[in-house]
Amino acid sequence: MGRAVRFARRTALVTGAGSGIGRACARRLAAEGATVTVADIDPAAAAETAELIVKEGGAARPVTGDVSVEDDVRAMVETAAGDGGRLDVLHSNAAVLSREVYGRDLDLTEMDVEVWDRTLAVDLRGAMLCVKHAVPRMGAGAAIVNTTSVSALVGDTDHAAYGAAKAALISFTRYVATMYGRRGIRCNAVAPALVLTEAARRAMTPERLAEKAAERLLPDPCEPEDVAALVAFLASSEARCITGQTIVIDGGTLAHRPEHAIRQAREAG
């Protein structure tokens, strides 16, 4: 049985679509009929995703920009809306995960303020700017999906800037849903835990992967395509009664007491 075509004659903008979750979401939306604008700060990565979609029989065009810069976001939305001036799906997925920023988001007492500011500028202000320029192009039935994180829902010993930005994004999602719901525009968020993107596979040691496996209730880790399936559902008319929600996709990582994972690890060891 073939995949449903839920986005025929619809336009979509996916930010941070040059790799990982964003690339998988762009491919999924295109596979279901959307004309997808692939936005990324890396022009080569954006072009690669767009080319991949076209090779798969979909419609896509790359655009380069920084979501923290308003003129760049305005250009992204204008490209995505095209001649018809309409945008049906916005997936705000861009986040700063570079070694220079995310890799320095460590002890707060030693953090450079620039790390905090850059994280919030991309991860939070970027989503706001996308909404600011996308909503005027949207009509009833349009959908916005933000990528937050389980880091927004728990504490940790590092990445406080990232966690704070993602937590604010959950609240922002509710506000957008409330502001524009009467216009028929929905806004939801997805909150992944570890997703085995290519970058994650390169970065994670076998020991770290084993630790993450011990945290989960389910045996298999999430892949980018799992998040893409959830994003596509939330963006589709099948989710027409869902708005203002954050859906956790984590293999059950946050669904149990920590003692459960500790006990499992001991029994396995």
**Annotated catalytic sites, by residue?**
162
Rounded average pLDDT over 203-218 = 90
Nearest of 6, 5, 25, 7 to residue 15 by alpha carbon: 25
Burial of 112 from C-beta contacts in 10 A (0-12 / 13-18 / 19+): exposed
DSSP letter (8 states) at residue 158: S
Rounded average pLDDT over 39-62 = 98
Q: Give the whole-angstrom CA distance, residue 20 versus residue 7.
A: 21
Tokens of 77: 């939305």
Rounded average pLDDT over 56-78 = 98
**Beta bridge mates, 64:** 40
Q: What are the phi and psi torsion angles at 127 (to 5°)?
A: -65, -40
Residues 6+ apart with CB under 8 A from 249: 190, 191, 192, 193, 222, 226, 227, 230
Compute the mean pLDDT over every residue in the chain, rounded to the nearest whole number. Answer: 95
Residues 6+ apart with CB under 8 A from 188: 143, 144, 145, 146, 173, 177, 234, 239, 242, 243, 244, 245, 246, 247
CA angle 12, 222, 241 (to 5 degrees): 50
Tens-place pLDDT, residues 80-107: 999 999 999 999 999 999 999 999 999 9
Which residue has tokens 């959307």?
34
User: Do 91 and 231 contact (CB within 8 A), yes or no?
Assistant: yes
Q: Give the whole-angstrom CA distance, residue 205 versus residue 224.
A: 19
Ordered by start, the domain boundaries in the chain are 11-197+222-251
Residue 251 to residues 17, 39, 218, 225, Cα–Cα distance (Å): 23, 28, 5, 14
Q: How many CB atoms lie within 10 A of CB 174?
A: 16
pLDDT of residue 1: 37
Rounded average pLDDT over 164-188 = 98
Flag whether pLDDT at 165 surpasses 90. yes
* DSSP letters for 2-20: PPP---TT-EEEEETTTSH
Flag whether pLDDT at 56 surpasses 80. yes
User: Do 190 and 144 contact (CB within 8 A), yes or no?
Assistant: no
Within 13 Å and on the Cβ side, how many CA atoms surround 81? Answer: 19
Stated pTM of the model: 0.94
Flag whether pLDDT at 259 surpasses 80. no
- Please determine, looking at this structure, whether the domain spanning 11-197+222-251 carries the CATH number 3.40.50.720: yes
